[in-house]
Amino acid sequence: MNRNFTEKLKEWNNAQVRKPLIIRGMRQTGKTWCVRDFAQNFYKDAFLEINFEFSRQWHSVFERDLDPVRICDELELMSGIPLKGGKTLLFFDEIQLCPKALAALRFFYERLPNVPVIAAGSLLDFALDEIQFPVGRVTFAELYPMSFAEYIAASGNELLAAVLNNQPKSLSEAVHAKLLEELRLYSIIGGLPECVKTRFEGGSLLDVRSIQNDLIVAFEQDFSKYPKQMDAAILRDVWRNAYVSVGRQISYASLSREHTGVTNKKAIDLLEKARLVKLSRAVASASLPFDFNTTLRIKPFAGDIGLYQAMSGRPADEVLREKDLLNTYNGALAEQFVAQELMSLLGGSEPHWWKRDAKNAQAEVDFIVSLDGKVQPIEVKSGAAGRLKSLHQLLKESPSVNDAIVLSSAQFGEMPEQRLRFIPIYFAGAIGN
């Protein structure tokens, strides 16, 4: 199973100045697998993996001080694997369980810059809040669920995956229909590697749904590990309500009528740190730097489209029977897909949306992102175009914006005079190509 994240690991490994790498991301996105796969291909047998959850013996190495030279001396003696020569990849997994190991990472760059070090873990952002890293001492990377192109590659259809990664100007109707059908299946399976692997190793959609339900239970069990003593019942309530509200403008108070807006905000902030929820915030203008709407207008999105479907409770066969995916859940499913693809494409930067509040002329556009220093508005519509009044309003007010993209289930199209490009929705992760 190939992941695009491998390219990021190669870039980090080959950098002239290589700092310790901290991989963030939602649980079950494949962080450990990616590092092991990278090590197997680029470090062969020169790989030391230290899992702070499986063995407590490693914790004691970091108790005395944070000196990386001494730490590596002890790790060498305990493992029998040489480290300080710089030819062995050192991997700290579940590092959030050993805060002193996390704190020690900054000193590796200062005292042992030749040693390649990667750290990853579940709920890592909570631990990072307790550690103050001086600027420039570590590198961060974000791992997301598998994109649609990665999902297609995992199915064994490398040629179709290449089409998604290298957006053409046109497609045959047969290929177009094939990609729409695969997108429908992807919306059910999602991008969590265990679900994808199960499907392509002969498992049914029911098998996939069972895994998703188990993961939902596991995520909810994690709530007790969250800091700030937030009640697990509140987190569960807010999480489920956020998924019900995917793609809709909400207030913090509306996330749960059982709790105050302040409590709901604290809960959603924690869920964001765990990557179970992603908030898209409104911007007031289509120019850089983005001017964020001061009214705190937000839209929630799920950490994974498959989990979103599972938590909806809607049977998979109903989704498969839906004539146009963009109509499912009143368009929310399509927006979830686009948001998820954009997050992976942007590599950590969140996709925003545009909101205009002028009297008698309110308007909003689904997404607005910065690509290569240029503002790119994006609207998600069923059919060929739908109503595009808001998009036209944005373009009218923003002469510096080259064009806007309309994502739909229709084929490619273009209206240069209106500064519009029409692209099939399954290319959402390749709009910058």
pLDDT surpassing 70 at residue 384: no
pLDDT surpassing 60 at residue 383: no
Nearest Cα to 23, choosing from 91, 115, 101, 107?
91
CATH architecture of 5-142: 3-Layer(aba) Sandwich (3.40)
pLDDT surpassing 70 at residue 385: no
Residue 427, pLDDT score: 96
pLDDT surpassing 60 at residue 386: no
- Judged on CB neighbours under 10 Å (0-12, 13-18, 19+), 318 is exposed
pLDDT surpassing 70 at residue 406: yes
pLDDT single digits (tens) 91-142 = 999 999 999 999 999 999 999 999 999 999 989 999 988 887 777 899 999 9
pLDDT surpassing 90 at residue 349: no
pLDDT surpassing 90 at residue 155: yes
Break the chain into its structural domains and give their ranges: 5-142, 149-430
Average pLDDT, integer, range 55-64: 92
pLDDT single digits (tens) 319-331 = 888 777 788 888 8
pTM over 0.85: yes
Q: How many Å separate Cα 95 from the centre of its chain? A: 20
Identify the H or E element spanning 339. Answer: helix 332-346
- Judged on CB neighbours under 10 Å (0-12, 13-18, 19+), 80 is exposed
pLDDT surpassing 70 at residue 297: yes
Is the peptide bond between 289 and the residue preceding it cis, with omega within 30 degrees of 0?
yes
pLDDT band at 337 (very low <50, low <70, confident <90, very high): very high
pLDDT single digits (tens) 262-274 = 999 999 999 999 9
Average pLDDT, integer, range 69-94: 94
Residue 293, pLDDT score: 60
63: left (phi over 0), alpha (psi -120 to 50) or beta: alpha
The highest-confidence range among 225-234, 331-340, 359-368, 387-396, by mean pLDDT, is 331-340
The CA distance from 142 to 433, in Å, is 21
Average pLDDT, integer, range 43-64: 92
Q: What percent of the chain has pLDDT over 70?
A: 97
pLDDT surpassing 70 at residue 82: yes
